Amino acid sequence: LFLWSHAAYPQLAKTLHAENGIDPEWIQSGLLIADCENRNLVQTWCESHTLSVEWPDPKRFSELEPDLALAPPSPHYLPDIAQVRNPRLLKVMRAEVVRLGGIIMEHQAVTELMINDHHITQIRTATQTYRAESYVIAAGAWSGQLAPLGKELPQLPIEPVKGQMIIFEAPVGSLRHIVLSEGRYLIPRKEGRILAGSTVEYTGFDKSTSDQARQELEAFARSLLPDVDLRLEKHWAGLRPGSPTGIPFIGPHPEIDNLFFNCGHFRNGFVMAPASARLLADLMIGRPLEIEPKPYRLMAER
């Protein structure tokens, strides 16, 4: 899903921008990873996934990132890795759906799926009922609450996993690459802002932020960029749709003939989004498949 999406993103971003005037800022900024336990494994993995990898010496490293105070034993650099500006991507996707004639109804939680003889007949919100030929559960961390249970499917193992993030205002060019170190990361945005993330917290449907997380993320960013003027702008939390292995569920419900899933993408929903949508659409309308569906089936072994 990553490789297909990685290949599709540049054209997708370009088309969405051209059609709707909102730039989702897909930028191939490259990724610097500080920690490496097994160089051979990294090298082999990158080669088998047709991704370039470089092992910069200190001189090359300081050319790549002059202000980054990173002195790890074995940093490596993946120049192909890119980023997309997630709020802008959602904004432009929304505009594209409307442009193509789709109707988006917001703040209407689906409360019930009405099922008769292995078939959904309609769905209910607090105020309305709706009918469709097919239905897709793509409700993120809430997907498990919506999924009807069946004999073959006792439980959809999706749970909310909170992530807290902060963003700084900073001079343009203070950081040029995405940086991953000790499980935390920095992402430079086009106009200079720098994101620092993130926590991984199993605390239910709770989106509160904590001073402790803010202090930890702030200390992490400041330790990597000690000479950069970082001004904290915002601190927030979101809920990831956690699944046991991080592998999403994409495809038909095993017992209900007009119900499909596209959920459980955990930490990589944006990384895998274009391919996930393509696979789901191909399965729903019976097009030839470009992506092997088996690993993402509901009953797949994980």
- Phi/psi region, residue 264 (left: phi>0; alpha: psi -120 to 50; beta: rest), is left
- CB count in 10 Å sphere of residue 179: 25
- Using the contact rule CB under 6 A, the part of the chain among 53-61, 132-140, 166-174, 201-209 near ligand FAD is 132-140
Specify the residue for token string 């963003």. Answer: 167
Nearer to ligand FAD, 220 or 266 (CB): 266
**Nearest-approach distance from CB 184 to ligand FAD, in angstroms:** 11
Name which position in 120, 158, 165, 256 contacts ligand FAD (CB under 6 A): 165
Name which position in 268, 284, 293, 297 contacts ligand FAD (CB under 6 A): 268
Residues touching ligand FAD, count (CB under 6 A): 23
198 belongs to the binding site for ligand FAD (CB under 6 A): yes
- Using the contact rule CB under 6 A, the part of the chain among 6-14, 65-73, 114-122, 260-268 near ligand FAD is 260-268
- Using the contact rule CB under 6 A, the part of the chain among 60-68, 128-136, 203-211, 238-246 near ligand FAD is 238-246
As to burial, measured by CB atoms within 10 angstroms (0-12 exposed, 13-18 middle, 19+ buried), residue 132 is: exposed
**Nearest-approach distance from CB 288 to ligand FAD, in angstroms:** 25
269 belongs to the binding site for ligand FAD (CB under 6 A): yes
Nearer to ligand FAD, 35 or 227 (CB): 35
Name which position in 16, 22, 33, 271 contacts ligand FAD (CB under 6 A): 271
240 belongs to the binding site for ligand FAD (CB under 6 A): yes
270 belongs to the binding site for ligand FAD (CB under 6 A): yes
> DSSP string covering the chain, please?
-HHHHHHHHHHHHHHHHHHHS-----B---EEE---S-HHHHHHHHHHTT---B---HHHHHHH-TT-----SS-EEETT--B--HHHHHHHHHHHHHHTT-----S--EEEEEESSSSEEEEEESS-EE--S-EEE--GGGHHHHSPP-SS-S----EEEEEEEEEEE--TTS--SEEEETTEEEEE-TTS-EEEE---B--SS-----HHHHHHHHHHHHHHSTTS--EEEEEEEEEEEE-TTSPPEEEE-SS-TTEEEEE--GGGHHHHHHHHHHHHHHHHHTPPPSS--GGGSTT---
88 belongs to the binding site for ligand FAD (CB under 6 A): no
Contact letters for ligand FAD, residues 89-128 (x by CB under 6 A): --------------------xx------------------
- Cα–Cα distance, 188 to 15 (Å, whole number): 23
- Cα–Cα distance, 182 to 151 (Å, whole number): 42
- Binding to ligand FAD (CB under 6 A) within 139-158 occurs at 139-142, 146
- Using the contact rule CB under 6 A, the part of the chain among 47-55, 96-104, 258-266, 284-292 near ligand FAD is 258-266
263 belongs to the binding site for ligand FAD (CB under 6 A): yes
Nearer to ligand FAD, 43 or 125 (CB): 125
265 belongs to the binding site for ligand FAD (CB under 6 A): yes
Name which position in 56, 148, 150, 163 contacts ligand FAD (CB under 6 A): 163
Q: Which residues of this chain interact with ligand FAD, rule CB under 6 A?
A: 109-110, 138-142, 146, 163, 165, 197-198, 238, 240-241, 263, 265-271
